């Protein structure tokens, strides 16, 4: 197993994972905990957080979490302060919380557009800023920030303008911040999943089935046909790349947007 160390090498890093109770976020939380990191997760559902924390603790992992809405500056402040109080300086941040959303652009509501941007992009800024300051990451001398973006942020998703715009923004933010923080010892990268079998993916298929007036099975067949490997990626495959990026072996990787997509995107 690849090593993960702090500058002092004395205690395991603390990882904060947003949206850590399902899909990719849950797989990331499990992967990092299995690597020996102390994991603090947040999500909007208190019950979901408590259930996941209890489950991971029964597996022997050092995990905690709290309810939090990453769209809210006040909530983000509370989440990061709680994480620091529980485990100390945040060494690894995974900005994973997000939502789908789209439709015919001419009929999109202001509310949908702003909520997708707030949930996916603005939250990435809010959480990152708070971790750099209150979380202590900027002065730690070592760290990892990993933003879960999307291949849709590189190539666009039909009927998904707000989603694609938010994920493209995450990629741009990633690259700019990586160059800013390079002298500090903190690397910043984006992981870009393609189609991944998660609860959100099921909602996306439902939405396309309604728009295209077809079945969810037909939508799935169309999507699989676009993927060279012929299948969706798994949350664990995406989490595997996140797990690698926190290791010492990945120390020279920064300012990158790396695909996990079965060949769907080639840039």
User: Which active-site residues does the annotation give?
Assistant: 163
Q: Which backbone phi and psi does 191 adopt, to 5 degrees? A: -105, 130
Contacts (Cβ under 8 Å, ≥6 apart) of 227: 194, 195, 261, 262, 263, 264
- 208 phi/psi in degrees, rounded to 5: -65, -35
The CA distance from 128 to 190, in Å, is: 13
119-123, long-range: CB within 8 Å, 24+ apart, which pairs? 119/70, 119/71, 119/166, 120/163, 120/166, 120/167, 120/169, 120/170, 121/165, 121/166, 121/167, 121/169, 121/170, 121/173, 122/71, 123/18, 123/70, 123/71, 123/76, 123/95, 123/97
- What strand order describes the sheet that includes 90-95? 63-67, 38-43, 14-18, 90-95, 143-148, 186-193, 257-260
Helix, strand or coil for residue 197?
coil
Q: What does the block give as tokens for 55?
A: 């489950």
Q: What is the 3-state secondary structure (H, E, C) of 28-81?
A: HHHHHHHCCCEEEEEECCHHHHHHHHHHHHHCCCCEEEEECCCCCHHHHHHHHH
């Amino acid at each position: 197993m690849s090593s993960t160390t702090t500058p002092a090498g004395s205690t395991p890093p603390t990882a904060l994972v947003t949206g850590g109770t399902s899909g990719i976020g849950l797989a990331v939380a499990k992967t990092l905990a299995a690597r020996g990191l102390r994991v603090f997760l947040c999500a909007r559902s208190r019950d979901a957080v408590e259930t996941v924390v209890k489950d991971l603790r029964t597996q022997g992992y050092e995990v905690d979490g709290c309810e939090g809405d990453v769209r809210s500056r006040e909530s983000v402040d509370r989440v990061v302060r709680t994480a620091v109080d529980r485990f100390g300086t945040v060494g690894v941040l995974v900005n994973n919380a997000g939502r789908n959303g789209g439709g015919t652009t001419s009929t999109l509501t202001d509310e949908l557009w702003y909520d997708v941007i707030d949930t996916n992009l603005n939250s990435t800024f809010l959480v990152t800023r708070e971790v750099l300051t209150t979380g202590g990451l900027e002065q730690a001398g070592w760290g990892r920030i990993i933003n879960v973006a999307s291949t849709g942020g590189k190539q666009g998703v039909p009927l998904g303008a707000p989603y694609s715009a938010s994920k493209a923004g995450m990629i741009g933010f990633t690259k700019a911040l990586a160059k800013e923080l390079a002298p500090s010892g903190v690397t910043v990268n984006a992981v870009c999943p393609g189609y991944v079998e998660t609860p959100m993916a099921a909602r996306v298929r439902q939405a396309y089935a309604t728009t295209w007036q077809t079945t969810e099975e037909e939508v799935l067949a169309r999507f699989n046909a676009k993927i060279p490997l012929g299948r969706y990626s798994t949350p664990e495959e995406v989490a595997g790349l996140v797990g690698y990026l926190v290791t010492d072996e990945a120390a020279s990787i920064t300012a990158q947007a790396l695909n996990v997509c079965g060949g769907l995107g080639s840039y």
